[in-house]
Amino acid sequence: MHKLIGTKQFYKSTLTVALPIMIQNAVTNFVSLLDNIMVGQCGLEALSGVAIISQLMFVYFVTIFGATSGPGLFCAQFYGARDEESLRAAFRFKLIIALLVCAAAMLILFMWPDKIISLYINDTGSGGDP
C-alpha cells in the first residue's frame, strides 16, 4: 500500500510544483470575483458586460492551455532525459504556438468584436436596469 500512495519526497516535490499554480489560480479567481462585485454596483448592463468578457477570457485561456499542453509534455520528457537541445526546440515550439494563438485571438477580436460578443448574448427582451 505504501508504494501505491507514494513517499514523502514525492509529495514534497509535487507540492513544490502544484502550490504556486494553486496560488496563481486562487488569485486570478479572487480578482475576477472582485471585478464582479465592483462592477455589480454600476448596474445590470455593466455586470453583463463583465460576464461576457469573462467568458471570452475563459475560452482564450482554455485555448492557450490546450495548444501548449502537448509541447509542455515534450518539455517535461526532454528535461527528464537531460536532452537540452530537444528541450529548447520543444520550448521554442510552445512559445511560438502561444504567440500564434494570442495573435489569432487579437485579430479575431479586433476584426469582428460585435459578432463575437453577440455569440454570448441571449436577448430575452427584459430591458436591463429598471
Q: Which of 20, 108, 15 is nearest to 63 (CA)?
A: 108
**Does the model's pTM come out above 0.85?**
no
Give the pLDDT confidence of 9-44 residue by residue, as tens digits. Answer: 888 888 998 999 999 999 988 988 888 888 888 888
Neighbours of 71 (CB within 10 A): 19
- In 41-129, which ranges are continuous DSSP H helix? 44-80, 84-111, 113-118
What's the rounded Cα separation, in Å, for the pair 82 and 99?
Answer: 26
Neighbours of 83 (CB within 10 A): 13
What's the rounded Cα separation, in Å, for the pair 60 and 113?
Answer: 14
Per-residue pLDDT band for 71 (boundaries 50, 70, 90) equals: very high
